[in-house]
Structure 1
Amino acid sequence: MWKWLASLVVVVLLSACQEEAAPPPSPDPPTKQVEDIRIGFSMDTLAEDRWKKDRDLFKEAVESLGAEVLITAANGDDVLQVAQAETLIQSGIDVLVIVPHNAEATAAIVHKAHQAGIKVISYDRLVKNADIDLYVSFDNERVGELQAEAMLQAVPSGNYVFIGGADTDNNAHLLKKGVFSVLQPAIDSGEIRIIYDQWTADWLPSNARDNMKEALQINEQQVDAILAANDATGGGVQEALASYGMQGEIPMTGQDADLAGIRRIVKGEQLMTVYKPIQTLSVTAAELAVTLARGEEVKTSTSVNNGKKEVPSVLIEPIAVTRDTIDETVIQDGYHTKEEVYEE
């Protein structure tokens, strides 16, 4: 009995000693100071007016927070974008923000960044099949829905042409999904007929022009409505129509609220565009990039599946713009000036 009690005392004492000797928990790593943060911004292109605005606004937003930003643009070249991203990674950035040219090919960049301990944000366009940390964009399905809703109201029946975006861009697929989700009942009833449906390689207006010329040729110019994926492709569409003496005669949609597109709306050559408040997108992305760089948690209320995971996402609501709402949207926001729009 006494031996058992003595053994119990020894065990208790040893346990107490071990508890006293246990090292204290490691403190959390210190939060990185904003002035020491470097954000890399890997962009697909600066060929369109819209992307120049993204570059300038994102740079301004990051610098206003006290951090540094390094920006590259690949001119639609997948190999160049990967090489530029590798240079950014090697330069010692804390977070990489990507606007992918090719949604699939850019996954290699995400892998390289993570190997270097760098978190990755997909900006506006989703990187597919990659373990990206965050996606910041607009609701791109909603963009397509807004286009189709406006067109159905203007042209409830007839022959529809769809001039899509780049097949390599996930946003183009989301937009198309939104468009056809709205059009499908009218397609099923026979009220509208999709007489031409084609992607536009690299979003190039020249490719959209060629697509539209083909649509006019094979359908003997019997076209009642044109769903152009964005304002740049819409410019190519109008070139094709002009070659047939039909510029501005067929209702056409767009997206991005480019100045050229807005001016076409004023002239009656374009039905509508979809305005995506880039100021909101760029500021949101900049704030989230700095938050990630500081090692702080980012909480989101939604996610988007990119083929590999449910990516935490922040999606901003797009806005339909017609001739009647230009002043209260793009002009009021300072996206374009009244003088620019109305060429005063």
Structure 2
Amino acid sequence: MRSINFSLKNFFSTSLTLILILALAGCGNNEEIKLGFLYSSDITIRFNKESQFFKERAEELGATVVIDHANDNDALQYEKAIEMMDSGIDLLALIAVNVNTAENIIKEANARDIPVLAYNRLIPNSDLKVYISGNNSELGKDMAGYVVNKRPEGNYVILGGDKFDRNAVELMASIENTLEPHIESGRINVLYKTYIEAWSPPHAAHELDQLMSSNPKSVDAVIAFFDGMGVACIDVLKKYQLEGKVIVTGQDAQLESCRRIVEGTQHITMYHPLETIASTAAEVAIDIVNRENLEDKYDITYTDNGLKEVPTVQINSIPVTKENIDEVIIESGFYNRSEIYQ
């Protein structure tokens, strides 16, 4: 009888030990995951914020994250991507400097069996694992729809983003589709339309200044695709005593644009819920490394990048105007009131 008790005691002890080991292994599974977040440049404020949100969420889930950016230099970005791969990352989240040359990073990653998550910028003709993006179709409808509501007639200027960035191309298509019936009716005239290389504020300002100095027609609205470009255009309008009189748009909810919205010189920005986007990206990244089926957990669509239909997670943006800036921006904690109302 004593031998039986001894055996049972050992059995339960061994079983308990195994259960604890398995439980600890399950809890610590993500601790072995190392993610890389490599973005284009720290000039774009939202990317700085998103890299930190991504890291915070991934670390909450037990993973580790290395972050770097490439000073808007695609050759440097390639070097930094290789450094991250050499350091032993399990997945690379990438905001490409140049989507056309970033394919080389994807090829190297795939050769090492490291999946790549394209963040914000789709990389064409490459074997991406997943694409995290906003919804450019809805963004364009909201942005252009707001302008039409405020200026249903008049001369419009459209300053798009970089023509090699799919986001800029998709946004341009959505805005054109939204404006088309108003253009056909003759109520709206597109005075000038162009893409702006690298989404550059100085380039956008130069284009608008050249137009206004040489064209006698009035400008009633400037649809700028990025807050930095919008602010630069407001400075040009000020030169012609037109600040606040011309409708100006932007996106990214940058601080200076939020201040301009409050003062009435910029009229709308499109706020991307950065924490939601970045946190979702971190969750998707960890699920990919753990070989989870994404369609079981996320609303997956597919985006053709020329090589394949890339699984895509889209997150809608929120229009921000003077009427709702307190609710959307301040109450969410994105900025505090003293930062905006100076």
Q: Do these two structures clear the TM 0.5 threshold for a shared fold by scoring above it? A: yes
What is the Cα deviation at residue 167 of structure 1?
1.6
In the alignment, the residues of structure 1 paired with residue 81 and residue 240 of structure 2 have an alpha-carbon distance, to the nearest angstrom, of 44
CA deviation map 1:73-132 (0-9, x unaligned):
112111111111111112111001011122221111111101100011111111111110
Residue from 138, 158, 164 that aligns with 1:162: 158
List runs of 5+ in structure 2 lacking aligned partners.
Answer: 1-24
Q: Hey, what does 1:74 align to over in structure 2?
A: 70
Please give the residue correspondences for 1:31-180 in structure 2 after superposition, counting only pairs within 5 Å: 33-180=29-176
Distance in 2 (CA, whole Å) between partners of 1:317 and 1:164 is: 19
Decide which of 262, 279, 282 is 1:266's aligned counterpart. 262
Q: Would the aligned equivalents of 2:95 and 2:121 in 1 still touch at CA under 8 Å?
A: yes
1:278 counterpart = 2:274:
yes
Q: CA deviation at 1:296?
A: 2.3
Deviation of 1:242 (Å): 2.3
- How far the C-alpha of 1:183 sits from its partner, in A, is 0.3
The separation in 2 between residues aligned to 1:76 and 1:247, in whole angstroms, is: 31
Q: Which residue of 2 aligns with 1:20?
A: none
Three-state SS of the structure 1 residue aligned to 2:293 is coil
- The match for 1:341 is 340
Q: Which amino acid aligns with 1:338?
A: R
Say whether the 8 Å CA contact 1:161–1:215 is kept in structure 2.
no
What is the aligned partner in structure 2 of residue 332 from structure 1?
Answer: 331
**What corresponds to 2:13 in structure 1?**
none
Structure of greater Rg? 1
How many Å separate the matches in 2 of 1:110 and 1:244? 47
Q: Distance in 2 between matches of 1:145 and 1:309?
A: 27
TM-aligned CA deviation for residue 247 of structure 1: 2.4
Partner residue, 1:18: none
What is the distance in 2 between the residues matched to 1:55 and 1:294? 21
AA of the residue aligned to 2:108:
K
Q: Is 230-239 or 272-281 further displaced after alignment?
A: 230-239
Q: Aligned residues: percent identity? A: 36
For residues 227-246 of structure 1, the aligned pairs below 5 Å read 227-246=223-242
Q: Which amino acid aligns with 1:101?
A: V
How far has the Cα of 1:145 moved from its partner?
A: 1.3
Hey, what's the Cα distance between the residues in 2 that align with 1:249 and 1:56?
Answer: 38
Q: Distance in 1 between matches of 2:202 and 2:107?
A: 34
CA distance in 1 between counterparts of 2:191 and 2:270 reads: 24
TM-score calculated relative to the size of structure 1 = 0.88
- 2:248 is the counterpart of 1:249: no
Q: TM-score, normalised by structure 2?
A: 0.88
**1:101–1:168 Cα contact (<8 Å) kept:** no
One-letter code aligned to 2:169:
H
CA RMSD of aligned residues (A): 1.5
Q: Which runs of 4+ in 1 moved over 3 A?
A: none
User: Do structure 1's residue 191 and structure 2's residue 187 form an aligned pair?
Assistant: yes
Structure 1 221/62 Cα, relative in aligned 2: closer, same or farther at 3 Å? farther
- Structure 2: distance between partners of 1:42 and 1:143: 25
The answer to whether the 8 Å contact 1:135/1:313 transfers is yes
Instruction: Quote the offset at 1:147 in angstroms.
Output: 0.8
Q: Secondary structure at the residue paired with 1:245?
A: coil
Distance 1:120 1:215 in 2: 42
**What secondary structure sits across from 1:101 in the alignment?**
coil
Unaligned runs of 5+ in 1: 1-29
**Matching residue's letter, 2:307:** K
C-alpha distance in structure 2 between counterparts of 1:246 and 1:75, whole Å: 34
1:290 aligned residue: 286
